[in-house]
Chain A
Amino acid sequence: MPQTPSQTVGPFFAYGLCPEQYAYDFTDLVDNQLVDPTTHPDPIMVVGKIYDGNNETIPDAMVELWQNDGEHKLFGRFGTGTDPENRFIFHTIKPKSVHGQAPFINVILFMRGQLIHSYTRLYFEDEGELNATDEVLNQVPEGRRKTLIAKKQGSVYELDIYMQGDRETVFFDL
């Protein structure tokens, strides 16, 4: 059987997919709290902006995070349209290493102007040793690996995503 074709999420996904974040009259199924940061002992924040080919921030993208380290299976979703700087913001925990891989979070991007979603990964700056030997990171041309590694400041990890250009983020075919 053929695959049903993908089509863009369009500009108006918010009231269906992130309604409470955007203050629409429909209940959320998921939000940006993969864990509750007020009760979890070791929460982190994941933040970043998404840039288009003109280096302008994209205000109508939707980001999904998924992480599964065998112990914690966590999913979250956030649109870039409510933060004044068009950031995505998530509250989660750092996943553990699985089978010697560097810990990472799967990132799925949707936006107007993308006919099909994009997959990338977020790795952690403070995992230098595991990052150096990670099979997937080593498949990526050396000069582009840094596009996947979030910078750490306290408990906040920041990773900007570039859709195009010299700093274009590495996207994966899954």
Chain B
Amino acid sequence: MSDKILNRFDPEYQPAKLYEGYKSTILRAPSKPLVVIKQSLSELTGPIFGDMNIKPLDHDLTKNSVKNGEPMGERMVVHGKVINEKGQPIPHTLIEIWQANAAGRYVHKVDKHDAPLDPNFVGAGRCMTDAEGNYHFYTIKPGAYPWGNHPNAWRPNHIHLSLFGPNITTRLVTQMYFEGDPLLAYDPIFKSVSPKAREFMLAKFDMERTEPFYALAYRFDIILKGPNATPFESL
């Protein structure tokens, strides 16, 4: 085993495990300190996905579940670059995507929100970054979603994203929000990270990438852990 460890999660930018404003953390957040270990072969590697894992319409949520027409809502293209903390691109890495429809309704069977399902929109997709770390996918702008965390609680518009990166230590599940959404100020999940970290979860409107007569564009860059290594000190 090496005597270096890769970058750890940065507490200045990552949420604490327990954040009482988000009530579900109270019974589910680990309470004891994490044990710091040196990464072994298994942690220094991870699953590898390739373009062959991606179906032709997986990156287009406006088309990949059409039954009898186009999905309702505002069509958009989300694009950006996946990089590491040194700014180096992460090529050929998988991004998994899920979200509510334009009315703020999730396809999930447990979602009881009184808003319509869209027969032409499941809200699930996936894409790969290219050789330069760039990605894009097409979707419908998700609606705000009410939940039971506190009285009159609404989630801001958001898209869930899941990434792997080069090894299992770079695994990231996050949510992409929209610049200027008034609900951000009231959302405990968004506010579970420090104020300076929040801007790194905001997609920016991107006029240049807007596709005339077709789709608005938003840019969202994603920064994964790594690749710096620091000496391992036995605790």
Contact = CB atoms under 8 A, between A and B. Distances in A.
Interface of A: 1-17, 19, 22, 24-27, 29-30, 52-54, 58, 60, 66-70, 73, 75, 95, 98-99, 101, 104, 106, 108, 110-119, 135-136, 139-140, 163-165, 168-174
A108 to B, nearest CB: 6
Given A2-B10, A3-B14, A110-B173, A27 B55 contact: yes
Interface in B20-70: 22, 24-32, 34-43, 45-47, 49, 53, 55, 64-65
Given A114-B29, A116-B15, 9 more contacts: A4-B200, A5-B14, A6-B174, A11-B110, A24-B122, A66-B168, A104-B42, A118-B30, A168-B32
B24 A6 contact: no
Contacts of A5: 13-15, 174, 193, 197-198, 200-201
A67 B162 CA distance: 20
A2 B12 contact: yes
Interface stretch (B130-138, B178-186, B210-218, B220-228): B220-228
Main secondary structure of the interface of B (DSSP, over half): loop
B15 A115 contact: yes
A17 B96 contact: yes
A13 B27 contact: no
Contacts of B77: none
B163 to A, nearest CB: 9
Interface residues of B, number: 84
Nearest to A162: B30
B221 to A, nearest CB: 8
A12 B85 CA distance: 29
A115 B22 contact: yes
A26 B106 contact: no
Contacts of A67: 42
Contacts of B225: 3
